[in-house]
Amino acid sequence: MTPEEGRRLVGATLATLWLVAFIVADVAVTNPNLSLAPLFAIAPLIACAVLPAGPTAVFGVAALLLAAWSNQWNDAWGTPQVWVRLVDIFLVSAAAVMVAWVRVRRERQLARVARIAEVAQRTVLPLIPRRVGPLTAGTRYLSAAEDTLVGGDLYDWFRSDRRICFVVGDVRGKGVGAVEQAARVIRAFRQSAAAGADLAAMAAQMSDYLMQFFDDEEFATAVLVQITNSTRLTLVNCGHPAPIFIPSDGDATFVLPPVGLPLGLGSSYESMSMPWTVGDRLLLYTDGLSEARDERGEYLPLLPLAPLLRESSVEDALDGILAKVREHVPDGQLTDDLAALLLENALPEGGSQTDHHGSLVASADTVQHHLPTALEHLRGQQDGDAARSSVRAE
């Protein structure tokens, strides 16, 4: 049974019980000057809150018939007050039917708008695959706004033959305006990543692009990550909370590259490269995680969460982190949007996709280095084939 069906069942049950209760009360009352008939009109009013117009009309007709029976039972026919009571019940029932019709119509309109809004909001955040080359990835998004799927927080990814890039960011502001600006940040990330610039130049290009759309009080914090081989990763921090690095065989630490200005405010950024071996994990997140507070205003400590991030799968680790956040904040209600991206350096399914230099794919330099040897080998095969053909001809 769906929640909507459950609500309708409850409404119909309450309206029926109301009619039954006042039938019993009307029978029990012996005072001829006391009439309970007008109270039957409450039943269609209860029904119109959750039932469509048709069932509400059924309760209206039932209320009208029971009122007529009540007047018969109490020998009240022949007085002017009887017709006033019946007209009153008829008008109340008709109004209840109209209310039910308008409510259902508006609910359907809101449902259509909600479906359109859901599709529009989901287009802002792309679906990051579980496997991206040699990486295992997982994402989570929680919106603090009621009935809203996404807000100003964002994540995205890009993959080419040479590298894999990720971004996690947070646009200042809330509501529809923040969603619109978050979409622009994602657009800027994809354009810059496709242009092939290094990570620091990517951040500068994104910031320059966003300056055209941000006003004086708007900006976006972000962390950019680039992986070009299976042994190192590069990061750029644009005024964003520091990522957490969880090595496979050590203590978790915050990654602290040089912090630049948020996107839309800065024009120059510095990158940092660090070792990245199989089994290592990196958590990127927004301030919905780092600034989650309890009743006393104390922040959620992040590094103690490292065992959750290390000892289970990527998906389970993210679920565990979100459960801890909900336990920490009052009533489990976030006061800010939360986006999280967890990356793990793992061998690709089906075996390694790296060359012997550790790169994700063979680079142009690698191909150029091995090309002369390959050509010589090919020429040798061709000369051998020609010689064998000459011998056979003789």
Instruction: Summarize pLDDT for 60-116 with one digit per residue, the tens.
Output: 999 888 888 887 776 667 677 778 888 888 999 999 999 999 999 999 998 888 777
Residue 59, in any domain of the structure: yes
Percentage of the chain surpassing pLDDT 90?
41
Backbone angles phi, psi at 66, to 5 degrees: -70, -35
The count of other CB atoms within 10 Å of the CB of residue 96 is 27
Alpha carbons 96 and 10: distance in angstroms, whole number: 17
Sign of CA dihedral 287, 290, 295, 298: negative
Please check whether residues 224 and 94 belong to one and the same domain: no
| Contact between residue 236 and residue 257 where contact means Cβ atoms under 8 Å apart | yes
CATH number of the domain to which 194 belongs: 3.60.40.10
The count of other CB atoms within 10 Å of the CB of residue 388 is 10
Please check whether residues 185 and 275 belong to one and the same domain: yes
User: What pLDDT, on the 0 to 100 scale, is given for residue 362?
Assistant: 39
Look at residue 367 and give its three-state secondary structure. Answer: helix
Residue 362, in any domain of the structure: no
The rounded mean pLDDT for the chain is 82
Look at residue 95 and give its three-state secondary structure. Answer: helix
Predicted confidence (pLDDT) at residue 300 exceeds the cutoff of 90: no
Alpha carbons 316 and 303: distance in angstroms, whole number: 17
Please check whether residues 112 and 206 belong to one and the same domain: no
Please check whether residues 191 and 306 belong to one and the same domain: yes
134-148, 157-171, 186-200, 203-217: segment of lowest average pLDDT = 134-148
Please check whether residues 204 and 103 belong to one and the same domain: no
User: What pLDDT, on the 0 to 100 scale, is given for residue 30?
Assistant: 65
Residues 6+ apart with CB under 8 A from 190: 156, 158
User: What pLDDT, on the 0 to 100 scale, is given for residue 96?
Assistant: 94
Per the DSSP assignment, residues forming a β-bridge with 142 are 338
User: What pLDDT, on the 0 to 100 scale, is given for residue 354?
Assistant: 45
Predicted confidence (pLDDT) at residue 292 exceeds the cutoff of 90: no
Predicted confidence (pLDDT) at residue 24 exceeds the cutoff of 70: yes
Please check whether residues 18 and 151 belong to one and the same domain: no
Please check whether residues 205 and 335 belong to one and the same domain: yes
Predicted TM-score (pTM) of this structure: 0.66
Predicted confidence (pLDDT) at residue 389 exceeds the cutoff of 50: no
Per the DSSP assignment, residues forming a β-bridge with 153 are 170
Cβ neighbourhood burial of 162 (10 Å; 0-12, 13-18, 19+): middle
345-363: pLDDT as tens digits: 986 555 444 443 445 543 3
H helices present in the chain, as ranges: 3-28, 42-48, 53-73, 80-124, 175-195, 199-211, 287-290, 306-310, 314-328, 364-393
Please check whether residues 174 and 272 belong to one and the same domain: yes
Please check whether residues 182 and 35 belong to one and the same domain: no
Residue 371, in any domain of the structure: no
| Contact between residue 276 and residue 233 where contact means Cβ atoms under 8 Å apart | yes
Q: Which domain holds residue 333?
A: 128-345
Instruction: Report the candidate in 123, 120, 67 with the shortest Cα–Cα distance to residue 90.
Output: 67
Residue 385, in any domain of the structure: no
Residue appearing with tokens 């809203």 = 148
Predicted confidence (pLDDT) at residue 255 exceeds the cutoff of 80: yes
For residue 37, which amino acid is it? A
Predicted confidence (pLDDT) at residue 372 exceeds the cutoff of 50: no
Number of folded domains that form the chain: 2
Predicted confidence (pLDDT) at residue 333 exceeds the cutoff of 90: no
Of 345, 368, 386, the position where a domain reaches its end is: 345
Percentage of the chain surpassing pLDDT 70?
81
Please check whether residues 143 and 116 belong to one and the same domain: no
- Alpha carbon separation from 347 to 15, 131, 231, 257, 350 (Å, rounded): 62, 10, 12, 26, 8
Of 120, 143, 163, the position where a domain reaches its end is: 120
Residue 386, in any domain of the structure: no
Q: How confident is the model at residue 258 (pLDDT cuts 50, 70, 90)?
A: very high
Of 345, 370, 387, the position where a domain reaches its end is: 345
Predicted confidence (pLDDT) at residue 343 exceeds the cutoff of 90: yes
Alpha carbons 56 and 97: distance in angstroms, whole number: 6
Q: How confident is the model at residue 390 (pLDDT cuts 50, 70, 90)?
A: very low
Alpha carbons 306 and 11: distance in angstroms, whole number: 49
Please check whether residues 166 and 56 belong to one and the same domain: no
Please check whether residues 299 and 187 belong to one and the same domain: yes
**If DSSP states are collapsed to H, E and C, what string results for 176-198?**
HHHHHHHHHHHHHHHHHHHHCCC
Residue 370, in any domain of the structure: no
Residue 43, in any domain of the structure: yes
37-46, 240-249, 332-341: segment of lowest average pLDDT = 332-341
